[in-house]
Chain A
Amino acid sequence: MDMDINDKDIELALEQRADYIPSKELKQGTATSDFFENIVENLLKKHTTLIVGPRGCGKTHMMRYAYMLCKEDNKRPLSIYVSFNRYYRLEPMLISRANAISLFHVWVLSRVILATQEALLDQYSDFSESELEEAINYISPEKLHDLVAKLERSHPLSQEELYLADSISIHGTRKIIELHTKLSERGRAVLLLDDAALTLTPEYMVEFFEILRSLKSPYISPKASVYPGTTEYGPRFHPAQEGSVENVWLSVTSPQYLENISSIANLRIKGFKDIPEEIREYLAYAAFGIPRAYLQMMVEFQKKEYSTLQQGLNRIVQNNIEARKVEFLSLSLKVPKLRSIIEQGDSLFSRLVDLLKDANDKVDAKDTKQLLIGITGLNNQPMVQRVFNLLVEAGLLYPVPEKVSHGEDRKYDRYIPHISALLSKRVFSAKGRGWSAKAVTEKLNQKSAQPLRRSVSSLFTDNQLSSFKFDLPACAVCTQERVTPTQKFCHNCGNELLDSSTFETCMSLPLHDIPGLTKWTISKLKQELPGFKTIGDLLSVQDPGTELRKIHRVGQARAEKIIKLVTSFADEFLQ
């Protein structure tokens, strides 16, 4: 059975992502709630908005939904949707081009211009060629597409392309958006800039928010989706001052939590209502506010591949938290200088879970649960704060918004650790009694106790605190260790200290280890395309589809699915 072709797994791996759902299905499969509608309304308002949440919490979904709403209603603004999830393709330029930042600038604006024209063409009316040419300021969309494609492949530009790149400016882009808005007979435009976290390339991120700030006008409202925990928006962009910051991440402590997340699954999962309520609730908590995780766990549950219910749920929840942790740990591969910090983060997370286990074992079993941990002293320890922020960014810790003050010197930052981790550690299963999903969800539905309070100094010894550091690579030429993190040249041999490319690292990952590839596909890849060992081997050939079709029983459709899976893994890995 294991060696079946079984394309379903590949499809399942893809279909929970909003960027792969066709527009019509997206609209019909959207569960609206006050929480959801409030955020969508914010996306359509005149001010700048940042929507913040970890992977899978619904940012893309909300942006695409907002886009559809505008498309169908002439009274709403012209909505322009652009995803920047391919930003990492420009990452190698950071070590190979002196003008990498300018090229990134051109790439962002070019994608905005192309999306602006697409948004207009997507309207329910026709426009003449001359109207379209004038609106795009006589730039050739084909040439702009070629330029974008070349930049995404890190290819050198010809003189003609350099001229085109030089002609793309903030001012010109703003004018193009305004002309398109006028042509669509709308009063203003909203720019939905998706996947703008750009966390792996801080240099690009600063430039991106500078562009976003500059594109803003009385007629253009930029909206961007980012990850939580990020604070490096650059010197001139201050999220709270520029507009509103909307938390898209559903809080498990919200009174509407179960209702909101269930309504999403009800529309997307066949037979959702047939699953017993306590199981739905148990997995809803385990999803920790991430609809994509909830859908995946539900699908997994419906396969009924377990001997006992308890064993089945344990495995599903365990897999969910393991996947989050693997993602967090993979950061040390993507940003090698964070290696020690990530290791510290991993053990910190386990410690926080253990602390909550002890606390819940002690609290009165009947009345309250303990979910929150309040930390003092983070402000004075930037490296420790970084560890907490990285755990938040990876979706392992939920930051409870406001700061709680208990007097002058006692500021608390409050966090909730991922519920799947707590469930795996049996934090809510009372000692000595038999396990039941219902008992656990009843416990989780109880009131929250006052946060457990810890200070940074009680979590880490002085020795541990002084060992927090960036792992900077030694000089590649003479192997001498660096003296300072900002050093540009090696003090021993005088060579320039250049980092390695994360993109190259990702491309060197083994192709056969990509999650979602079926055993059949892996064995066929190994047998019939032995030259394709890494992701880069497959994605760098001119036409990967032709290569894959050389495998017996792989046609166009299956080849496309495999390529989509590999590409989406690379996109996801480098987000």
Chain B
Amino acid sequence: MIDCTIQILTPTVLREPECGRELLRALQKYFPTHTPQFFGDTEPLRNHFRPDSADAALGCWGRQFFILKREKPKVLMQASFASSTSPRPRHSSISFFDFQLLDPAQLSTLTTFVKELAQTFHADYAMAHILSQNELEDWLARRLETPTSRPAPPASQIVDRLRTRISREGYAKVLWGVECLKLQTVNLQRCLPNLYWLNVFGPPYAAMFGRQHLLETPAASVETLAYGGTAIQLTNDLKDSKEGWESFEAVRLKCRNHLDSNAFCDSTPGRDHAYQTPTFLLRQPH
């Protein structure tokens, strides 16, 4: 099994049941092996999902959250619907926290699936990442070297707690938390946390980076999507080995430097540093 994660941020309101239907249709089309077993709008999920009556499940689409879950291969997805009246506008999101692939041959299907979702929902930003144990070890080593100050505990205690979490929840969930949880409107309005295995930059990023500049990214694959997004796949795969991780990191750094290092979050310049950021036009009708 290969643990992956997917995030789609859309400026559309997403509450119409048709949006849910399109999401389920795409999931069924590309991953019939990943049909959800449970659904609901709040946890614990008690409703059994039946593919032949998806409309029944969509009865709770659009309220606040819509959650789908299955085991073996694991799928845990949450659609979160942005409020149309909140003083703080944000993207609606489709997050597959855990999306297990059965084998490496499914990686190309994953990229097609994410590109189709980005196209369907005119994503401002979308990504898919392969969660690698080597990436987490790298992160923990850096965390250990970064000093903390009160009221935080010493870095060693934080790392110990995360190691306990890894033994309890698995490395994929912990890595997702430290690397991918930041992919939300408020953070993207400050800076881009990083590049991931697959990145889809929507029109606001095309305006920021320049479309031609995005297309010249030195990645394994760069493709323009019909709605104006650009899909950048950094490497053909990401093997969970030290060598696999290091070669991915080298490509990632090269691509970050090509795009614009001032667009990516960096701990060096301090809290008030002005990064290059896109302008999002939120609350668009679907």
Q: Do A and B come from one complex?
A: no
Q: Chain B: residues with CB nearer than 8 A to chain A?
A: none
